[in-house]
Every structure is written in structure tokens, then in C-alpha cells.
Amino acid sequence: MSLIKPRTNRVRTVRHISRLQEPNRDALVQYARFIGDTADYVLNQLIDTTLLKDRDFITWRAEQPSQPATAAAGRQAVIGSATSADKHV
């Protein structure tokens, strides 16, 4: 019996590019094949079944000022880019 069930409805999706460690990518693709759905769906379900049920995260998230998630992600990407550039200098 799979932990993640195949989807029953469609929810609006947005594009998010990320990097996975190769063994995790392989497991993700194989699990998606196992349940007959996409890797995107499996990732979304993993977030639903782990991150969104973490009580400490829920509390922290409720305390944060309301802002689009993309604004915070954009700042982290810029910080990450500067750090990478510094290593090459």
C-alpha cells in the first residue's frame, strides 16, 4: 500500500525549479511510477504530509508577516548567488 495516493482533483500549479540529490531524484521518479502519477504530484504530497503538518512550522508561519512566497525565495536566490560568486574570487 502506498503512502501517497494518486490525485483525485487538480489544483492550480506554479513552476518552481530546484535541485535534488541524485538518489532522492531516483526515488522520487520511481515512487511516481509506482503510484502511476507525476514526480510533481509526489513532491506536493510530501510537502502536504510533512511540512504542512509540522506544528512548529505552522506556528512560525502564522507569526510571519503576510508576503508572497516568491519575494522571500527571490532574496534567498540573490544571497546564494553572491555566496557562490565570492567563492570564485
Which pLDDT tens digit goes with each residue over 37-87?
Answer: 999 999 999 998 899 889 999 999 899 888 777 655 555 544 444 444 444
Read off the pLDDT band of 17 (50, 70, 90): very high
| Cβ partners under 8 Å of residue 13, min gap 6 | 40
Assessment of whether the complete model's pTM goes beyond 0.75: no
Query: Residues 19, 25, 27, CA angle at the centre, nearest 5°?
Result: 155
Closest by CA position to 31, among listed 17, 15, 49, 16: 49
Which pLDDT tens digit goes with each residue over 62-74?
Answer: 998 887 776 555 5
The one-letter amino acid code at 33 reads R
Query: What is the rounded distance in angstroms from the CA atom of residue 56 to the CA atom of residue 35?
Result: 30
Residue 54: its pLDDT value, please? Answer: 92
Residue 4: its pLDDT value, please? Answer: 79
Residue 79: its pLDDT value, please? Answer: 45
Query: What is the rounded distance in angstroms from the CA atom of residue 39 to the CA atom of residue 31?
Result: 8
